[in-house]
Structure 1
Amino acid sequence: MELLEKLDILGTAAKFDVCAASGSNKKIQGASFGAVSPSGVCHSFTPDGRCISLFKVLMTNECEQDCGYCQNNCHRDIRRARFTPEELVRLFVQFYTRNYVEGLFLSSGIRASSNRTMEDMLQVVEQLRIKHRFGGYIHLKILPGCEESMIEKAVSLCNRVSVNIEVPSDRHMEKLSRKKNFERDILGTIGKISRQLKKEQGVTQTTQYVVGAAGETDQEIFHSVSQLYHTYNLKRAYYSAYQPIGQGSFAAKRENLLVRENRLYQMDFLMRQYHFKSDEFVFERDGNLNYKVDPKMAYAVNNMHLFPIDLQKATETELLRIPGIGPTSCRRILQIRKSVRLTDLQQLKHMGVVIKRAAPFILLNGKAFGSLDELLKGERPMYEQLTIEQFIKESVGYDTIQ
């Protein structure tokens, strides 16, 4: 099989892994080219906000695993291909020198065994780092169940490593795979990575959930990812809406899963950037977030006894609970109010506050500027404790959180 034909197969097969270059500041000693500052190429972002191109590809799409959510599982009748380490290194160097890519995202199916496939992947990284002295960004997928010595080597060579958790528990994994052991292969590997990260500065760990594949609820995902953040020093989690294999009745739910994916990202952002606690998230009776309103607005509407809040006196935590106020505008308010009294909405607008969202929840100089009643087009009085079901009757919903 020709090299570009392999690239077409394995570059396309890698599209289901979500990747981002943010959060890593590792420096590679002695590097002579490459810096983190066609098929198989994707865009990502560095910590300073620059968009860069990554060579995103699989080592092979051959796989011994039977994961029901995976387009490359062993039961599928698809074209299979694999790179040798030398072929992949040659492709990457050519792409880099032609300015097509600036970094590498390398994943793989499991051919023969996790250890055997990891050996090939590590050969690619070693050749780039040592032989070609590449100093740019490398994200390496760690294959579940591989030996810790391989993880140690990966951490020493890469900027970011990850293993996909896919589901929140062993109960959910049993629905999707007869071969994969959740505790041993997934959580065990995440634990090994966490131990190795303590020895190497500037390297980060991420993971990814497949949303909607195993009947899991958002609340179950929340408890799972909370454990990862607090126990395993996870940098961040990614969420990918399940894409059914072949055609079936499940395909009709694709649009709802994309909305759900968006809400999970918003929940995750509130956990990491706003320091929301577990009891501050509002879950429906079925254990899922409300998909018509973002989690921050849901919190505010269900806690109207805490509002409106005086912006001149509010703490940082209180400010971050107000819809329309994000981390940047919060910092500006805290700084500016030291020397200037906040009295009108234009001041807030200049600080980046989304006035329409914030108005029902704030006080300026003792004055209220809006009501929940107005936000809901007169549906309910401001002082009434609303259920989410009542709130969404007239709510359009929000795509971003502030």
Structure 2
Amino acid sequence: MLIQENLTLQEKLRILSDAAKYDAACTSSGVDRRGQSGMTGNSSACGLCHSFAADGRCISLLKILMTNECVFDCKYCLNRASNDVVRAAFSPEEICTLTMEFYRRNYIEGLFLSSGVMKSPNHTMEQMYQALWKLRREYRFAGYIHVKAIPGADPRLIEAVGMLTDRMSVNLELPTGDGLRSLAPHKTRKTILTPMRQIQNGIRQDREIPLLQEHTAGFLEEGKARASVTGAGIQKAAGEQQDELLSWKKENAQPLWSQRKPAARMHVSEIGRRFVPAGQSTQMIIGATPENDYQVLSVAEALYHRYELKRVFYSAYIPINEDPLLPALPGGPPLLREHRLYQADWLLRYYGFQASELLDESRPNFNVLLDPKCDWALRHMEQFPVEINRAPYELLVRVPGIGVRSAGRIVQARRSARLEFADLKKIGVVLKRAVYFITCSGKMEYSGKLTEDTITSCLTWGDRKANWEISHQDSFRQLSLFDDFHMNVPPSMEDRFSVVTGQM
């Protein structure tokens, strides 16, 4: 492994921002565009990506690796130890310089920092910790920071970094342990899930602090009341409560990493920050191993329930290495499959669906020509049509074309008037999909046959060959060694919009 010496900061940025594009924990983008006469500004693709804040704003992040050096040899990774690629590494000071210079120029609003494993997980994580500590304490940077935790790092390091960042994520890498053992033999599910559990517990403990403070205030008020009656007890109550608070901190807070370094000594109260306040997320590579959509979605559902993740990201496998254990994918990355999984993920998180409702063992993969909500509705026509003026909210959000917002507007609007199809269009319902599944005052606008084949044909623009394959998946047909089941079809603009907004 050759580490390039004497590289300029711009050269390191080009290498390490390009190496970071495979971490799909935000919506990556970037373009080179020179300034033009009569125009204001230009654009550089290096290290820029976009993510969405909790209030819906699209924010720009500086997205880089701390180093693309790695001691692991994951078969699917561009930065694996056996690959002959140019290696580079940022120092903590360079991370701070880049972040502040980009921020001062209004290019970014935050930092997304990941890294290969340099020397060891502990060494890498401590380098990241030093960079974040300098950025927060010396440069006084209060912007958004997302950090990828390194599996196998010391728990004290995870805690220390968690107090300096807004969101942390630990990449699950592959959906199952079998896939991890075959393609990433240096990693195990235990080393990945252990920091996930630690971050979850840390976030829970952080939530308990306001409750303890509220309990403290109540205890002091009670002490004051006793003092007003008995003439004693205020100082005693305060002293007892302070002892209780210190005891709680001692029991629940681990010592921070690098206590041997005076510059690293820091207490929670000194920086006034919470532990990973924006929650944690993870990423799975889709298509590198033979798991079907049902397995992938079941894993995501379990992660949401057991580890309280904010988001699971799905990254279509890109064939950048040659290995007999890796799939060939002659049609390219399964981008449309990735989009269908993102759409199904929205259904899990906001629409009340379960993985077992969307897929099962007999039908383990999504129909790539229909979004998962339409696919589910077509397989459950016994529940439709739905009367708009009477159906409960939980049933409205299951109608294709009616999203969470439009369902809420329907419930609110029908309190004062009976809704018709023209009203639904103004509310924001996508009638192109919803018209097959709803009635207004008992009337239905669609007059054709309410069968799965007929509606499927209408929803997929009448592509007869594709529709025949959808409707006759169990029929005999000519097999091909290169049949990818249309997984290489690029996502449409409507698909992209639904993945970003979640409105299906």
| TM-score category, normalised to shorter length | 0.7 to 0.9
Aligned pairs for 1:208-247 (under 5 A) are 208-246=283-321
Percent identical pairs in the alignment equals 43
Q: Which residue of 2 aligns with 1:189?
A: 195
Give, in angstroms, the shift of residue 106 of structure 1.
0.4
Identify which range, 304-313 or 184-193, moves more after superposition: 184-193
**Per-residue Cα deviation, 1:166-206 (whole angstroms, up to 9, x for no partner):** 21221111121221112x21112211211112133523100
What amino acid does structure 1 have at the position aligned with 2:298?
H
User: Using a 3 Å threshold, how does the CA distance of structure 1 residues 306 and 388 change in structure 2: closer, same or farther?
Assistant: farther
Structure 1: distance between partners of 2:298 and 2:56: 30
Q: Is the CA contact 1:283–1:290 (under 8 Å) kept in the aligned structure 2?
A: no
Compute the TM-score of the two structures, normalised by the length of structure 2: 0.70
Q: Is the CA contact 1:283–1:289 (under 8 Å) kept in the aligned structure 2?
A: no
Q: Which residue of 2 aligns with 1:262?
A: 339
Pair 1:126-2:133 in alignment: yes
Equivalent residue for 1:173, pick from 176, 180, 192: 180
**Per-residue Cα deviation, 1:53-78 (whole angstroms, up to 9, x for no partner):** 21110110000111112111111000
Aligned pairs for 1:268-347 (under 5 A) are 268-283=345-360, 285=362, 287-342=364-419, 344-347=420-423
Equivalent residue for 1:72, pick from 35, 58, 79: 79
Equivalent residue for 2:152, pick from 139, 145, 158: 145
Pair 1:390-2:471 in alignment: yes
Match of 1:291, SS?
coil
Equivalent residue for 2:22, pick from 12, 16, 24: 16
What amino acid does structure 2 have at the position aligned with 1:96?
Y
Give, in angstroms, the shift of residue 45 of structure 1.
2.1
Q: Is the CA contact 2:286–2:338 (under 8 Å) kept in the aligned structure 1?
A: yes
Structure 2: distance between partners of 1:178 and 1:378: 47
What amino acid does structure 1 have at the position aligned with 2:200?
S
Structure 2: distance between partners of 1:197 and 1:287: 34
Aligned pairs for 1:43-62 (under 5 A) are 43-62=50-69
Q: Which residue of 1 aligns with 2:440?
A: 364
Q: Is the CA contact 1:308–1:362 (under 8 Å) kept in the aligned structure 2?
A: yes
Structure 2: distance between partners of 1:176 and 1:194: 27
Give, in angstroms, the shift of residue 11 of structure 1.
1.0
Q: Which runs of 5+ in 1 are unaligned?
A: 22-37, 380-385
**Per-residue Cα deviation, 1:339-372 (whole angstroms, up to 9, x for no partner):** 1112x21011011011121111111111122144
Compute the TM-score of the two structures, normalised by the length of structure 1: 0.88
Give, in angstroms, the shift of residue 251 of structure 1.
4.0
Q: Is the CA contact 1:63–1:111 (under 8 Å) kept in the aligned structure 2?
A: yes
Match of 1:44, SS?
strand
Structure 2: distance between partners of 1:103 and 1:213: 31
Give, in angstroms, the shift of residue 13 of structure 1.
0.5
Structure 2: distance between partners of 1:287 and 1:71: 30
Q: Which residue of 2 aligns with 1:355?
A: 431
Pair 1:253-2:331 in alignment: yes
Q: Is the CA contact 2:76–2:321 (under 8 Å) kept in the aligned structure 1?
A: no
Give, in angstroms, the shift of residue 375 of structure 1.
3.7
Q: Is the CA contact 1:65–1:179 (under 8 Å) kept in the aligned structure 2?
A: yes
Give, in angstroms, the shift of residue 287 of structure 1.
2.2
Q: Which residue of 2 aligns with 1:110?
A: 117
Identify which range, 304-313 or 43-52, moves more after superposition: 43-52
What amino acid does structure 2 have at the position aligned with 1:218?
D
User: Using a 3 Å threshold, how does the CA distance of structure 1 residues 69 and 337 change in structure 2: closer, same or farther?
Assistant: same
Pair 1:204-2:290 in alignment: no
Pair 1:90-2:108 in alignment: no
What amino acid does structure 2 have at the position aligned with 1:219?
Y
4+ aligned runs moved over 6 Å, structure 1: none
User: Using a 3 Å threshold, how does the CA distance of structure 1 residues 377 and 97 change in structure 2: closer, same or farther?
Assistant: closer
What amino acid does structure 2 have at the position aligned with 1:234?
L
Q: Root-mean-square deviation (CA), in Å?
A: 2.4
Give, in angstroms, the shift of residue 388 of structure 1.
8.9
Q: Which residue of 1 aligns with 2:171?
A: 164
What amino acid does structure 1 have at the position aligned with 2:163?
S
Aligned pairs, how many?
375
